[in-house]
Amino acid sequence: MTATGPAVTVVEVAPRDGLQNEKVELTTAQKRELVGRAVGFGARRVEVTSFVHPRKVPAMADAEALVELLPTDDGIAYSALVLNERGLDRAIDAGVTEINAVVHCTDTFSDRNQGTDIDGGVAIWHRIARTAREAGVTANLTIAVAFGCPFEGEVPVDRLRAILGRVLEEAPTELSLADTIGVAVPKDVRERFAVAADLVPSGLPLRAHFHDTRSCGIANALAAVEAGVTILDASLGGIGGCPFAPNATGNIATEDLAYALDRTGVSHGLDTVALQDAGVWLEGVFGRRLPAMVLHAGGFPGGG
């Protein structure tokens, strides 16, 4: 199907969000190959690692070693997650030029993931934003558990609006809303991104991060595009999940997202043949069937 609608950028997050909660531990060399395969299937933005405490997220303990293996002149934006100033310092020292920071919508989840409450998280973001700007590093922000929390339940829209108002005092390069535990439905997506669109400065891109825990992830991604979101996170094979969220499952699968965007007429810039090959390779590395549906079913019959 020929793309006739809007274009979106897909950020491949398997090397970071995909691997952080998996039992299979990849070597640094395997992670480098995963990143390379993402670039090979057309990803021009790849979240490669996180600079967090290795005891809390052991899978990311080789962050510096992995970044050292990545090209610096290939035109690809390699980003990393940081949760505090120490993580930002490590990322800058490693040569990372784009970071993703996080502010949470509930105190309980924020404490478990970041070791502080919402107020503390907002203050950390303001400091990270200023330091990153001074260092010439692109600083993006994700609002986590923006659709619901495993510990506190519903997240009122008014709370999201209030948090957005506070974090936007130091505007990020782009703003993401994350359904960290996969509870959202398209109605929620349209409602909450409308709030974000109303508050962000003109021209600031909106980004969405969905998990497929309850099989609504792809529908939510399409709803986000309809709501004006131009950047979507996805994970090869659908691997991953949050280590601080009970019963967490992976991000929406890159294979499934590409198929849905293709059939909707939305351009995404990925090579679906190379994408399929990368999924087969990753399934071999993991030694088990991965969640991505299109990886096993293939594309539209007769259409690849």
Three-state secondary structure readout of the chain: CCCCCCECEEEECHHHHHCCCCCCCCCHHHHHHHHHHHHHCCCCEEEEEEECCCCCCHHHCCHHHHHHHCCCCCCCEEEEEECCHHHHHHHHHHCCCEEEEEEECCHHHHHHHHCCCHHHHHHHHHHHHHHHHHHCCEEEEEEECCCCECCCECCCHHHHHHHHHHHHHHCCCCEEEEECCCCCCHHHHHHHHHHHHHHCCCCCCEEEEEECCCCCHHHHHHHHHHCCCCEEEEEHHHCCCCCCCCCCCCECEHHHHHHHHHHHCCECCCCHHHHHHHHHHHHHHHCCCCCCHHHHHCCCCCCC
149 is catalytic: no
Determine which one of 105, 149, 216, 242 is catalytic. 242
Q: Which residues are catalytic?
A: 242
